[in-house]
Amino acid sequence: MKNQDFTTTIIVEQTPKQVFDAINNPQAWWSGEITGNTGKLGDEFTYRYKELHMSKQRIVEMIPGKKVVWLVTDSQLNFAQKDEWTNTKIIFEITNLGSQTQVKFTHVGLIPNIECFNDCSNAWGQLILQGLFRLITKGKAEKVFS
């Protein structure tokens, strides 16, 4: 059976270190409010977007220039089944392609049969392409949601 977790990939001209540093600065590319720390293994942070979304993440894997994994330890989605993100993993895999760097983003557990799949996968697509991609390539993310 084909893996159905939401995945998207971007390729940039910047180095794996630059990509890694951008990923670990979600305050700069993830629309909404982030509180807590995001820079080292074991750090925990909370993300809030208006009254629609709250999730708590813990950094459970961090390999400089190669991989970052966030475990969602709690979630409340007010537009879908409230705790659909709880115990899911958000994974950033960084691959050096010579003069380019690939970022493969996967939200493990964000699958088509959960209620928020369409809204959440669309939001991730925008955040990765307009937020993270622009932060990496231009030094500043575009505000995705208002």
pLDDT score recorded for residue 52: 85
Do the strands 33-36 and 6-12 form a parallel or antiparallel pair, or are they unpaired?
unpaired
- Residue pair 105/124 in contact by the 8 Å Cβ criterion: yes
- pLDDT tens track, the chain, 146 positions: 467 999 999 999 999 999 999 999 999 998 889 999 999 999 999 999 888 889 999 999 999 999 999 999 999 987 766 788 999 999 999 999 999 999 999 999 999 998 889 988 998 999 998 899 999 999 988 767 65
Sheet holding 44-49, edge to edge: 6-12, 101-108, 89-96, 67-77, 53-63, 44-49, 33-36
Identity of the amino acid at 105:
F
pLDDT score recorded for residue 56: 97
pLDDT score recorded for residue 145: 66
* Backbone region of residue 94 per phi and psi (left: phi > 0; alpha: psi in -120 to 50; beta: other values): beta
For residues 79, 110, 120 and 80, what is the CA-based torsion angle, rounded to 10 degrees?
-10
